[in-house]
Structure 1
Amino acid sequence: MSKDEDKNKNFSVFSRISKSLGVEKKLEKTNEVIEQIDIQETDETTETTEVLEEQATPVTDNVVDLAEKQRKEKNQEGVKWLKAAADLGDTGAMNELAYCYLAGVGLTPDPIEGELWLRRSAELGDLWAIVDLAVRLLDGEGIERNAVEGEKWLHLAVERRDGIATRVLGYRLLHGDGLQKNAEEGARYLYLAAESLHELVAMRLLGLYHIKGDFLTKDVKKGEYWLKRAADGGEKIAMREWGRYLIRGF
């Protein structure tokens, strides 16, 4: 007889003896109890996991909601202080409010409110606000486009001898960018910005335009003079263009 057959025979004998003694029923009941315990533990574990998951989600949401609430409160507090300073006539605070509202930085975008503060600052004579308002009106950036009014504000800044405004006016007249093209007037304002107001970007533009013969009469020596002056002044694009020009030209 093989070992497997011997095991089967012994198991069969054991089963018969167990039945006669009632042991098998006890074993069956014991197995049922064990199974019930396993099922109960599984159910309890599942319920516990579900409860923990349900509890975890609101906690995460609450943290996010709290952070958002704190951010809004800080922004509101910041606006309160900026408006307090603006109401006392501080144009820097007005400019900050205008930027935040028009660009939507830290605040919900509000073009009407942004333009209101920008105009208040410009009307009080703040050069930054005057130039920014002029450019926005010329381009229709954040506020309704109005080229006529934009040019008026730009000329006002030029009268105040603002280098950037003078260069911007010259560039736009030369290119016909937002304004009616007028090459002669554009060149005049560009030269004014470079020669009298020492505006480095104006110098760089004069240099490039004269060397290439774009928008201005081609004059390499004059172009090299202005481009090098801008580079010597530390204007980074002029430095790059001057270096490139010396190595391989344009």
Structure 2
Amino acid sequence: MIRLGLDDDKEKKQSMFRRISKSLGVDKKQDEEESNEEVPTIEESEETKIITDNVIDLAEKQKKEKNQEGFKWLKAAANVGDTGAMNELAYCYLTGIGCSVDSIEGELWLRRSAESGDLWAIVDLGVRLLDGVGIEKNTFEGEKWLRVAVERRDGIATRVLGYRLLHGDSLAQNIDEGKQYLMLAAEELHELVAMRLLGIYLIRGEFFTKNIKDGEYWLKRAAENGEKVAMREWGRYLLRGL
């Protein structure tokens, strides 16, 4: 058996490469020339940077124009009374989506929608006023708007009012009234988070007289209807209690 030296082995590999290159139609000379090309100069790198910057500037310009067009159409819809457009404008201004944050403009559109009777806006305005999120805090007015939504039998508003009255969260604590609203949200309005809270409170004996059987019923019902936190809490309860 003949042992190839390093030079022979290198030559064998080069020969094999030439055969493969030829079969693929690759000009080895051209390939070697390309491999010897100079590294891009500083001027070329700066030119690439300029091109990249121009592309970014163009993209930003197009995005700005698209946002302006979007706001134009939302305002057109809002000005003819579409509360969904008012809500969208309020959300954009209060969160800075597609524009700079503008709490005054955001509150203006949210109030217009709420005053037009939009239930989503009524609840959102009430909660924002209670917590001072995006707009100036005003617990008295926030409670007023929340109760307007409760009168219209909105499940979320009813649950939120019940929870806040139970805990004294931004409202004066009133356990009896809080229990009433939480039970209304769970039993009649079928609000899933209210079911979960009611279940947990009953199992623990928190705010309500302890009743494990009823608590398990409400927590399991919320879980079976897909309320994610209830699914977790029900599973944990079955494994090791609450």
Q: Specify if TM > 0.5.
A: yes
Give 1:29's aligned residue.
Answer: none
- TM-score, normalised to structure 1, is 0.78
Return the offset for 1:115: 0.6
Out of 230, 233, 236, the position equivalent to 1:241 is 233
Give 1:154's aligned residue.
Answer: 146
More helix by share: 1
- TM-score, normalised to structure 2, is 0.81
Give 1:204's aligned residue.
Answer: 196
Return the offset for 1:49: 2.6
The AA in structure 1 aligned to 2:201 is Y
The AA in structure 2 aligned to 1:118 is L
Out of 61, 85, 106, the position equivalent to 2:53 is 61
Return the offset for 1:145: 0.1
Distance in 1 between the 2:231 and 2:71 partners? 41
Give 1:138's aligned residue.
Answer: 130
5+ residue gaps in structure 2?
1-37
Give 1:214's aligned residue.
Answer: 206
5+ residue gaps in structure 1?
1-44
Distance in 2 between the 1:57 and 1:233 partners? 55
Distance in 2 between the 1:154 and 1:203 partners? 20
1:120 aligns with 2:112: yes
The AA in structure 2 aligned to 1:56 is T
Q: Which runs of 4+ in 1 moved over 6 A?
A: none
Calculate percent identity across the aligned residue pairs.
74
Return the offset for 1:139: 0.3
Change (3 A) 1:57 1:206: same
Distance in 1 between the 2:236 and 2:41 partners? 67
1:164 aligns with 2:156: yes
Return the offset for 1:249: 1.5
Distance in 2 between the 1:217 and 1:139 partners? 30
Structure having the higher Rg:
1
Give 2:184's aligned residue.
Answer: 192
1:78 aligns with 2:99: no
RMSD across aligned positions (CA): 1.6
Return the offset for 1:227: 1.1
1:107 aligns with 2:99: yes
Number of residue pairs aligned between Structure 1 and Structure 2: 205
Distance in 2 between the 1:178 and 1:139 partners? 7
Return the offset for 1:55: 2.4
Out of 213, 217, 223, the position equivalent to 1:225 is 217
Return the offset for 1:53: 3.2
The 10-residue stretch of structure 1 (214-223 or 179-188) with the greater mean CA deviation from structure 2: 214-223
SS in 1 for 2:41: helix
